[in-house]
Amino acid sequence: MSGIEFSKPLAAHETPIPGVVLYDLPVHGDNRGWFKENWQREKMLALGLPDFGPVQNNISFNEKAGTTRGIHAEPWDKFVSVATGRIFGAWVDLREGPSFGAVFTAELDPSKAIFIPRGVGNAFQTLEDGTAYAYLVNDHWSADAQSQYTFLNLADETAAVPWPIPLAQAELSDKDRAHPRLADVIPMAPRRTLVLGADGQLGKALRKAYDGDASVEFAARAEFDLTDPKSVETKNWKNYSTIINAAAYTAVDKAETPEGRRAAWAVNVTAVARLARVAVEYGLTLVNVSSDYVFDGTADVHDETEEFSPLGVYGQTKAAGDAVVSVVPRHYIIRTSWVIGEGANFVRTMERLAERGIKPSVVDDQIGRLSFTQDIAAGIKHLLESNAPYGVYNLTNDGDPQSWADIAKSVYELSGHDADHVTGVSTEEYFRGKDAAPRPLHSELDLTKLRATGFDIAPQDARLRDIAGRQLPREHAAN
């Protein structure tokens, strides 16, 4: 046991390869031998190690010093350590991206361990006889998985790994000798993000937000039918890291009918439960879009901690979907209100009415903010890329809350028509004699939590001006 430092504290050290972290492990020893906690989830997570969910523990025993293995990049994450002996380790980034080809080397004995993300090439050379090299992985080995490996030659001149024992004197396999040089390596592509509901209003905005990103895959109903269990069962989820569910049943009034009720529960709850099960099983991040309708609107402002109190079937299904998603370890529930995107929406309807000279009655006792899909998409992208804490986030546009009638007046003015053509009316009066779902009267969502992540929230008035192509009149903007 010479050379091992006993009882040093558990510590993490960043390396030049993004995501590769070297750890000091406390080893406790005396005249009888030594003991260490090789993997201790709670302590490791506290140090920032990803909760990568290991499922298999492998040990490579190497009889003689000079045994050299690698460089192999596997399609899973690894936590590597030494059980006995010492190794010289070499790691080369073989992932797509700016760090491709980056090299890190270190000597490992039982007091050190290293975390290696998917796609980083792993190699080692034993420095003592009888060395046992151990690694935890978060996927099960299979012939199919092996076909996804990426390899680099141990003698690659670009990586120029400084092997302590020259490779000509080392013990290598014929397969390792035949691996390609760096110039011929096809980088390992990142796990993909799957966007569901890609042809809806939010889906179209997400297409624009991720335009040019080959790691993002878009699926409309024709490619992925949420109501069909086979869509989930036949997908190879090992190739994905994130699901963004932009699909939903949103026909608020129709949801009150027997047919609509079944459809709403099928899409907003049953299908979401299938996605949640997949996210838990494969360690994926699940993003699901929610609604102000999960509340009854009796509170003036709703924050992320408010308990559910939906009034109608649509709100009940969205609340149930939220409850399901909340048990996924890696989840973002994006709560929006009054969504405006490409296609039919309230703003376009008011513009058409204004152009036709119609003087509409518009509800004036429902208060909230608009949520433009381009900003919802940007917010989702921000939360994912900034690694914001998982959980529920309110995501609407900023600015003073307004009624639907206030917004209608703004649209009339912006389109060059008289705002006085819009008449305010109560919700009760507007829906009298109609088959309609109950609506929350107060839909303002508190944006404090979202702002704390560093997201720049655009004002709703600015987005209205963008749509109309005109400046909002100063006297109305001050209201």
The catalytic site residues sit at 72, 135
Is 240:330 a contact under the CB 8 Å cutoff?
Answer: no
Please, what sign has the CA dihedral across residues 126, 132, 135, 140?
Answer: positive
Sequence-distant (6+) residues with CB within 8 A of 423 are: 359, 360, 361, 362, 405
Where residue 197 falls (left for φ over 0; alpha for ψ -120 to 50; beta otherwise) is: left
Backbone angle region of 130, left / alpha / beta, with phi > 0 → left and psi within -120 to 50 → alpha: left
Residue 24, Cβ density class (10 Å: 0-12 exposed, 13-18 middle, ≥19 buried): middle
Contact 133, 60 (CB under 8 A): yes
| Residue spans of beta strands (DSSP E) within 292-360 | 301-302, 331-336, 339-340
- Classify each residue of 78-92 as buried b or exposed e, where b means 16 or more C-beta atoms within 10 Å of its C-beta: bbbbbeebbbbbbbb
List of residues 6+ apart from 334 with CB closer than 8 A: 287, 288, 289, 290, 376, 379, 380, 383, 393, 395
- Phi, psi of 126, rounded to the nearest 5 degrees: -75, 140
**Contacts by residues 400-404 (CB-CB < 8 Å, ≥ 24 positions apart):** 401/367, 401/368, 401/369, 401/444, 402/367, 402/368, 402/369, 402/460, 403/362, 403/363, 403/364, 403/365, 403/366, 403/367, 404/346, 404/362, 404/363, 404/364, 404/366
Residues in CB range of 418: below 8 A, 6 or more apart: 412
Token pair for 436? 């309609």
Cβ neighbour number for residue 244 with a 10 Å cutoff: 28
CA distances 98 to 18, 71, 150, 241, 386, Å, are 10, 20, 17, 20, 18
CA separation for the pair 400, 403 (Å, rounded): 10
Which uninterrupted H or E stretch holds 189? none
72 touches 149 (CB < 8 A): yes
